[in-house]
């Protein structure tokens, strides 16, 4: 069958040659003509040639080219006709249709172009003549496509057009090019390929070696190769230089492990790099296998075949080069880093738009961050800080139990990777701190159940490696659930087991003097003792008096544990200090409450207590003065016995004393009301509300700090109110001086009454013998000197007391005006309301305006 087809094709070619020659010269068309034999051999050689055309076998492209050529020549109607015919031609498939349609179209296109060359006089006697067709006949040739389909189905492989090269000049050129290449290259390309593969493994080849001056692999200058070859070898060997850097880093780090500057994260980074190098080794093994195959010549169709050239090697190295460059950059960045800082630096390079780089970095980071995420899991769920090499962003230090929460664990910002936000890091820190606080300070194990519930709610696993890079949502969910449950459990323990609210209320009642009956009784019984010099007072006696005050007031019904924590404290004192100056109360806040009531916090409570104690002492002094000054019958007897002038003097002195007491009492009463209600009670109410809404221990500490700060600032104890505070204490000292003056005044009045009564008795009993020696016989006695001397002494005493009271009143007025003038400029708004309360009737304002 094959021989019959070949015979039919030969007959068709003979007929074609005969017809072409008969149009030029009928004599040449004879089979015996030499010209006919030469033309027939030329036609058969064309058909049997193996050279392929320079176009791709695409029928649509050839048809589009023909249609465009017709349109540019101005034959638009022919272009439309061709398009319609091609549509019908291309739609016919199946038995009886032409398989190689593109070859038919290509043949017609070439024939048309050859016909134009013939018209231009390009015919040669050596070649076959063109058909003598006119230009309009091309459309007819196209129209007969459909009629010739059945005959064209025998053209299985199409008609191939080659350059008209009767002597195969192309093959000669290929051989000459090969010889030229051999002359220009001292080393074959196969050898260079193998040397490049060695260099990419960090090994010197026969010709390609590492040059320390160039800091890279290169061909020796003595080797004769073209500049292009030398350049491509240098570019390919960059991969070896990068490999050398990455491999050196891995070896150096592993040699230094377990040094602290490497750590587990650095070890994981080296392991991830080693895994990537393993994949790189596999690629080199495949390439080395291909490098053993010879590189074909250009004339031997080099596009096919399993061989390896330098140009093919550059294609193979494209992806490994990107990865190796990235690894080399990471190695340079991470040399001086460790732990979370290293993970953060690598994370910065993962923000890349190239999918190849992004996937590579994600795979690398999952390995690198594995130890870091394991530390997070262990800390959040177990409270264990597994950080031997100081790589974690949470650092711990040994401290006392009372400082565990504030100082035991801190956030190390330098080790915090960028893919963990600051808020999540704070939650992670607080969750682990809560577990350790419960375990160490509260001796509680309930946090384990809370951690288990958190894992179940977050839907993650507790096994190692359950969390990894890229699972930020899972990490955040686990941290949020664990923090919520463990913090709630911690607050429950603080509130219920250790009665935090009750202890805060006890401090308010005893240290902030909110328990009125207790404070009043305590001041009554310790007053005589505190009036003594400080160095003569016994702390044990004061402790006994404190117990008496507790038993004699409603404080006796408090929890015994609370009362047991209340103690007397004597502050350091110097020469001349009285008991009032050094007496104070303290509250023993034990673990874990000492986390809130730290030493510094209790020092601030002590400052508040001293201020309130001084205020209560001043109030107590004024009450004592009032008890002495209240109207009684003693003055009525004096009035009847004294002269009118002395009576007026006495009444004036008493009135001035009473008026001054009223002014001082008004000031102290309003100041105490402001402190006890607008400062202490309002601050306590706000603190109670914030305790209810607190979600964790940090919120509770912040609420208590705000509460204490509010009291300090509103009570004139803040840094900005020191001038006002000093003025207030000068006023307090002046009021205490007034108490001593009032006591002297009324003691003198009592003595005047007694002497006057004795003078009257002496007058009635002057004739009776004196059996005993009384005070009237004592030297210097008012009675002994007679009534006139008594009256003179009384006048002098009242005059002196009046002058002292006037001086005291003047000084008090000046100090009070200075104190009131400073209140409007205070930054705290509540201090301005204190001015409104003290000067409600604008008495002091009008008085100041008239001066």
pLDDT digits (tens, 9 = 90+) for 468-516: 787 888 888 899 999 999 999 999 999 999 999 999 999 999 999 999 8
φ, ψ dihedrals at 697, nearest 5°: -65, -30
Q: Which of 611, 506, 631 is nearest to 566 (CA)?
A: 506
Q: If you count DSSP H runs as helices and E runs as strands, how many of each does the chain have, helices first?
A: 34, 6
DSSP states of 367-395 = HHTHHHHHHHHHHHHH-----TTS-SSEE
Question: Does residue 765 register a pLDDT over 50?
Answer: yes
**Per-residue model confidence (pLDDT) at position 114:** 63
Which alpha helices (H) appear in 694-842, and where do they start and end? Answer: 697-714, 722-764, 786-822, 829-838
Assign 459 to helix, strand or coil. Answer: coil
Q: Specify the residue for token string 């409450």.
A: 593
- 661-678 burial code (b ≥16 CB/10 A, e <16): bebbbebbebbbebbbee
Cα–Cα distance measured from residue 376 to residue 195, given in angstroms and rounded to the nearest whole number: 48
pLDDT grade for 180, boundaries at 50, 70 and 90: low
Q: For 579, how many CA atoms within 13 A lie in the half-sphere containing its CB?
A: 18
Cα–Cα distance measured from residue 366 to residue 35, given in angstroms and rounded to the nearest whole number: 80
CB 322 within 8 A of CB 357: yes
CB 114 within 8 A of CB 8: no
By CB neighbour count within 10 A (0-12 exposed, 13-18 middle, 19+ buried), where does 410 fall?
middle
CB 587 within 8 A of CB 510: yes
CB 283 within 8 A of CB 320: yes
CB 672 within 8 A of CB 615: yes
**Per-residue model confidence (pLDDT) at position 222:** 80
**Per-residue model confidence (pLDDT) at position 163:** 44
Which position has the higher pLDDT, 96 or 540? 540
In sign, the C-alpha dihedral spanning 256, 259, 260, 263 is: positive
Question: Any long-range contacts for 445-449 (C-beta under 8 Å, 24+ apart)?
Answer: 446/489, 446/493, 447/383, 447/486, 447/489, 447/490
**Per-residue model confidence (pLDDT) at position 97:** 65
**Per-residue model confidence (pLDDT) at position 318:** 92
Mean pLDDT of the chain: 80
Query: Angle at which helices 263-291 and 355-368 pack, to 10 degrees?
Result: 130
Q: Per the omega criterion (within 30 degrees of 0), is the bond before 258 cis?
A: yes
Q: Which of 796, 664, 666 is nearest to 739 (CA)?
A: 664
**Per-residue model confidence (pLDDT) at position 682:** 93
As given in the structure block, the two tokens for residue 60 are 């649509």
Q: Indicate the Cα dihedral angle 301, 305, 308, 310, nearest 10°.
A: 20
Q: How many CB atoms lie within 10 A of CB 608?
A: 21
Percent of the chain whose predicted confidence (pLDDT) is above 90: 31
As given in the structure block, the two tokens for residue 253 are 């780090």
Cα–Cα distance measured from residue 769 to residue 474, given in angstroms and rounded to the nearest whole number: 111
pLDDT tens, position by position, 417-443: 988 999 999 999 999 999 999 999 998
**Per-residue model confidence (pLDDT) at position 388:** 85
Question: Does residue 149 register a pLDDT over 50?
Answer: no
Contacts of 160 (CB under 8 A, 6+ apart): 47, 49, 51, 52, 53, 103
DSSP states of 165-219 = -TT-HHHHHHHHHHHHHHHH-SS-HHHHHHHHHHHTTT---SSEEEETTTTEEEE
Looking at residues 547-553, what average pLDDT do you find? 92
Which position has the higher pLDDT, 326 or 86? 326
Contacts of 598 (CB under 8 A, 6+ apart): 402, 403, 406
In sign, the C-alpha dihedral spanning 784, 787, 792, 794 is: positive
Kindly report the pTM of this predicted structure: 0.68
Question: Does residue 722 register a pLDDT over 80?
Answer: yes
Lowest model confidence (mean pLDDT) among 75-89, 107-121, 776-790: 776-790
**Per-residue model confidence (pLDDT) at position 435:** 94
Question: Does residue 317 register a pLDDT over 90?
Answer: yes
**Per-residue model confidence (pLDDT) at position 164:** 44
Cα–Cα distance measured from residue 462 to residue 380, given in angstroms and rounded to the nearest whole number: 11
pLDDT grade for 273, boundaries at 50, 70 and 90: very high
Contacts of 587 (CB under 8 A, 6+ apart): 503, 506, 507, 510, 511, 565, 566, 567, 597, 602, 605
Q: Which of 678, 687, 672 is nearest to 596 (CA)?
A: 687
As given in the structure block, the two tokens for residue 641 are 């016995």
Lowest model confidence (mean pLDDT) among 208-217, 651-660, 777-786: 777-786
Query: Angle at which helices 370-382 and 447-458 pack, to 10 degrees?
Result: 130
**Per-residue model confidence (pLDDT) at position 51:** 56
φ, ψ dihedrals at 200, nearest 5°: -70, -10
**Per-residue model confidence (pLDDT) at position 771:** 45
Lowest model confidence (mean pLDDT) among 127-141, 168-182, 207-221, 540-554: 127-141
CB 281 within 8 A of CB 200: no
CB 531 within 8 A of CB 583: no
pLDDT grade for 175, boundaries at 50, 70 and 90: low
**Per-residue model confidence (pLDDT) at position 461:** 66
Q: What is the largest distance, in Å, between two alpha-carbon atoms of the chain?
A: 203
Assign 283 to helix, strand or coil. Answer: helix
pLDDT tens, position by position, 186-218: 788 888 899 999 999 989 888 888 888 888 888
Cα–Cα distance measured from residue 631 to residue 626, given in angstroms and rounded to the nearest whole number: 10
φ, ψ dihedrals at 390, nearest 5°: 55, 55
**Per-residue model confidence (pLDDT) at position 157:** 38
In sign, the C-alpha dihedral spanning 500, 504, 510, 514 is: negative
Query: Angle at which helices 370-382 and 355-368 pack, to 10 degrees?
Result: 50
Q: Indicate the Cα dihedral angle 35, 36, 37, 43, nearest 10°.
A: 110
By CB neighbour count within 10 A (0-12 exposed, 13-18 middle, 19+ buried), where does 283 fall?
middle
pLDDT tens, position by position, 214-243: 888 888 878 888 888 888 989 999 999 999
pLDDT grade for 68, boundaries at 50, 70 and 90: confident
Question: Does residue 635 register a pLDDT over 70?
Answer: no
CB 337 within 8 A of CB 345: yes
Task: Write the DSSP symbol of residue 570.
Answer: E
Question: Does residue 411 register a pLDDT over 70?
Answer: yes
CB 265 within 8 A of CB 249: no
In sign, the C-alpha dihedral spanning 840, 844, 848, 849 is: positive
Task: Write the DSSP symbol of residue 501.
Answer: H
φ, ψ dihedrals at 536, nearest 5°: -105, 0
Looking at residues 389-415, what average pLDDT do you find? 90
As given in the structure block, the two tokens for residue 267 are 């070890």
Task: Write the DSSP symbol of residue 586.
Answer: E
**Per-residue model confidence (pLDDT) at position 633:** 43
As given in the structure block, the two tokens for residue 842 are 């604008």
Cα–Cα distance measured from residue 655 to residue 636, given in angstroms and rounded to the nearest whole number: 15
**Per-residue model confidence (pLDDT) at position 601:** 94
**Per-residue model confidence (pLDDT) at position 508:** 94
Looking at residues 569-597, what average pLDDT do you find? 88
φ, ψ dihedrals at 72, nearest 5°: -70, -25
Q: Which of 467, 370, 478 is nearest to 424 (CA)?
A: 478
Question: Does residue 839 register a pLDDT over 80?
Answer: no
Cα–Cα distance measured from residue 203 to residue 210, given in angstroms and rounded to the nearest whole number: 8
**Per-residue model confidence (pLDDT) at position 156:** 36
Cα–Cα distance measured from residue 365 to residue 363, given in angstroms and rounded to the nearest whole number: 6
Task: Calculate the alpha carbon distances from 643 to 301, 433, 763 in Å.
Answer: 149, 83, 18
């Amino acid at each position: 069958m094959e021989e019959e087809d070949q015979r039919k094709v030969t007959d068709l070619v003979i007929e074609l040659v005969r017809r072409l020659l008969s149009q030029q010269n009928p004599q040449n068309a004879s089979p015996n003509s030499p010209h006919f034999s030469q033309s027939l051999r030329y036609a058969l050689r064309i058909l049997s040639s193996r050279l392929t055309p320079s176009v791709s076998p695409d029928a649509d492209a050839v048809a589009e080219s023909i249609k465009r050529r017709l349109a540019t020549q101005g034959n638009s109607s022919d272009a439309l006709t061709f398009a319609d015919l091609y549509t019908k031609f291309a739609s016919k498939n199946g038995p009886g249709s032409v398989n190689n349609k593109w070859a038919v179209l290509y043949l017609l296109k070439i024939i048309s172009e050859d016909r134009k060359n013939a018209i231009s006089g390009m015919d040669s006697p050596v070649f076959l003549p063109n058909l003598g067709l006119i230009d309009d006949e091309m459309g007819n040739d196209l129209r007969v496509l459909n009629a010739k389909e059945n005959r064209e189905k025998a053209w299985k492989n199409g008609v191939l057009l080659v350059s008209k090269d009767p002597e195969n000049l192309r093959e000669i050129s290929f051989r000459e090019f090969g010889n030229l290449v051999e002359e220009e290259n001292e080393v074959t390309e196969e050898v260079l390929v193998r040397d490049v593969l060695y260099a990419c493994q960090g090994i010197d080849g026969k010709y390609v070696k590492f040059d320390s001056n160039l800091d890279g692999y290169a061909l020796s200058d003595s080797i004769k190769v073209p500049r292009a070859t030398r350049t491509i070898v240098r570019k390919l060997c960059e991969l070896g230089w990068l490999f050398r850097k990455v491999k050196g880093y891995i070896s150096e780090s592993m040699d230094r492990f377990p040094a602290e500057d490497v750590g587990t994260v650095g070890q994981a980074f080296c392991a991830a790099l080693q895994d990537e190098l393993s994949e790189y080794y596999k690629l080199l093994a495949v390439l080395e296998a291909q490098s053993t195959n010879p590189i074909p010549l250009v004339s031997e169709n080099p596009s096919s075949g399993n061989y390896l050239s330098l140009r093919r090697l550059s294609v193979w190295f494209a992806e490994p080069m990107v990865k190796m460059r990235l690894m080399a950059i990471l190695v340079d960045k991470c040399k001086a880093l460790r732990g979370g800082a290293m993970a953060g630096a690598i994370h910065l390079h993962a923000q890349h738009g190239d999918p190849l780089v992004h996937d590579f970095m994600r795979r690398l980071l999952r390995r690198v961050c594995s130890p870091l995420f394991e530390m997070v899991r262990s800390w959040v769920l177990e409270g264990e800080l597994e950080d031997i090499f100081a790589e974690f962003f949470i650092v711990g230090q040994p401290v006392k139990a009372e400082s565990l929460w504030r100082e035991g664990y801190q956030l190390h910002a330098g080790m915090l990777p960028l893919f963990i936000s600051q808020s999540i890091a704070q939650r992670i820190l607080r969750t682990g701190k809560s577990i350790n606080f419960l375990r160490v300070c509260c001796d509680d194990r309930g946090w384990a159940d809370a951690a288990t519930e958190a894992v179940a709610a977050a839907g993650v696993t507790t096994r190692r490696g359950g969390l990894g890079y890229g699972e930020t949502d899972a990490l955040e969910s686990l941290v949020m659930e664990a923090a919520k449950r463990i913090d709630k459990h911690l607050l429950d323990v603080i509130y219920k087991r250790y009665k935090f609210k009750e202890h805060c209320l006890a401090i308010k009642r005893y240290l902030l003097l909110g328990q009125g009956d207790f404070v009043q009784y305590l001041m009554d019984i310790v007053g005589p003792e505190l009036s003594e010099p400080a160095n003569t007072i016994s702390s044990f006696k004061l402790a006994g008096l404190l117990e008496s005050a507790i038993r004699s007031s409603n404080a006796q019904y408090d929890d015994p544990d609370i009362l047991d924590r209340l103690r007397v404290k004597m502050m350091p004192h110097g020469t001349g200090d009285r008991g009032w100056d050094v007496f104070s109360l303290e509250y023993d806040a034990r673990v874990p409450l000492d986390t809130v009531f730290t030493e510094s916090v209790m020092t601030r409570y002590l400052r508040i207590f001293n201020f309130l104690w001084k205020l209560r002492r001043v109030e107590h002094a004024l009450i004592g003065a009032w008890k002495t000054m209240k109207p009684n019958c003693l003055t009525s007897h004096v009035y009847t016995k004294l002269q009118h002038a002395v009576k007026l003097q006495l009444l004036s002195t008493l009135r001035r004393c009473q008026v001054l007491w009223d002014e001082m009492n008004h000031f102290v009463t309003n100041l105490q009301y402001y402190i006890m209600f607008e400062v202490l009670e309002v601050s306590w109410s706000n603190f109670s509300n914030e305790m209810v809404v607190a979600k964790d221990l940090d919120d509770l500490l912040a609420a208590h700090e705000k509460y204490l700060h509010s009291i300090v600032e509103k009570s004139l104890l803040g840094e900005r109110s020191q001038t006002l505070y000093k003025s207030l204490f000068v006023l307090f000292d002046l009021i205490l001086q007034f108490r001593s003056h009032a006591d002297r005044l009324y003691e003198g009045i009592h003595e005047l009454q007694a002497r006057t009564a004795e003078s009257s008795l002496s007058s009635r009993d002057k004739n009776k013998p004196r059996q005993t020696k009384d005070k009237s016989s004592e030297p210097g006695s008012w009675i002994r000197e007679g009534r006139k001397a008594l009256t003179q002494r009384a006048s002098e005493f009242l005059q002196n007391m009046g002058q002292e009271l006037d001086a005291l009143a003047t000084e008090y007025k000046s100090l009070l005006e200075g104190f009131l003038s400073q209140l409007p400029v205070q930054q705290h708004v509540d201090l301005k309301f204190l001015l409104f309360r003290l000067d409600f009737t604008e008495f002091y304002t009008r008085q100041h305006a008239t001066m």
